[in-house]
Amino acid sequence: DKYLYSDVDKITVSWAQRFRIIKGIATGLLYLHEKWEKVVVHRDIKASNVLLDSEMNGHLGDFGLARLYDHGTDLQTTHVVGTMGYLAPELVSTGRASPLTDVFAFGAFLLEVTCAKRPVNNNIRDNNQVVLVDWVLEHWHKGSLADTVDSKLHGDYNVDEACLVLKLGLLCSHPFTNVRPNMQEVVRYLDGDLPLPELTHTDMSFSLLSLMQDEGFDPYVLSYPSSKISCGTISGIS
């Protein structure tokens, strides 16, 4: 979060470093979801919860909202917790967290790291909201996906890797859970062991902002980038 948004010393994380950080967090999430003796759902994946060591390797931190349960069972919860912009639509409507709600947040993280923009940006001057997923999706529809990459990189990045990450971010951020990949597939996509599914305009015709507003959430009011929010019970938010 500091390196993406702070002007201190004008430090810019290179694309190679960003890609390594992304792959490190993906591997960590795969371990939490599938490799450990329990299933761990982090529930608050975002740039400000990713720690960097002296070699700029990414480590997932802040497990204060994490929940764990046995493999083969479902996590039951009645509270929506996390940060707006990273909350999957089904989590908002049902309150049930799962590995796929983490995948949704990871998708927002992919776009955030690549574009250096927060998942929800409030344009006070124009009194409107820009949802990062919708903005990247619009560029994908227009064939200008590379225009969303962080301008501070000054074009010094691997175009194929950046477009892969952007498309994967859109796929992970899809409002329908059956379209999202699991973390094992995500790691294989990033490692180049599995080709990314072809995105079609039919599959990717959605507006996340509209979906969230349909669920009764206004990102303009609730998008505090660094804060965790608990939205209460489902009966209280419907």
Q: Which DSSP helix (H) or strand (E) runs through 67?
A: strand 67-69
Contacts of 38 (CB under 8 A, 6+ apart): 68, 69, 70, 71
- Taking only the tens place, the pLDDT of each residue in 6-35 is 775 567 899 999 999 999 999 999 999 999
Task: Give the residue numbers marked as catalytic.
Answer: 44
Reading the chain (238 residues) residue by residue, the pLDDT tens digits are 988 987 755 678 999 999 999 999 999 999 999 999 999 999 999 999 999 999 999 999 999 888 888 887 777 665 677 787 898 988 877 888 899 999 999 999 999 999 999 998 866 555 567 889 999 999 999 999 999 999 999 999 999 999 999 999 999 999 889 999 999 999 999 999 999 998 877 667 666 655 555 555 554 443 333 334 433 333 323 2
Q: Which of 108-119 are b and which e, b meaning 16 or more Cβ less than 10 Å from the residue's Cβ?
A: bbbbbbbbbbbb
Classify residue 155 by its DSSP letter: T
Which two three-digit tokens encode residue 32? Answer: 């939490």
